[in-house]
Amino acid sequence: MARARARILVAGRVQGVFFRQSTADEGARLGLDGSARNLPAGEVEVVAEGERARVEELVRWCHRGPPAARVERVEVTWEAPRGEAGGFRVLR
């Protein structure tokens, strides 16, 4: 299985609508390692690592987000996997 790592920036109405926690829940459901955090500019940054197909599934999920979110833009930067482990977590 090919591993992948993606840094995902999500903009729009994504803070204050449980986007960060919902993304972490979805990442955990997919068995990925990574994190989600709010950025001062109003974006949510998601870093996900794991089986490439599952990372791609999380990217697709980020395009729609939880029901209250209004995603305007998703930027994905693919990176080399780092072999990180520890599940998916929410960063403050």
Residues serving a catalytic function are: 20, 38
* 22 contact partners, CB below 8 Å, separation of at least 6: 65, 66
- Cα–Cα distance for residue pair 82/48, rounded to 1 Å: 11
C-alpha separations of 12 from 31, 43, 50, 69, 70 in Å: 26, 7, 26, 8, 6
Which is nearest to 49 in space by CA: 20, 79, 23?
79
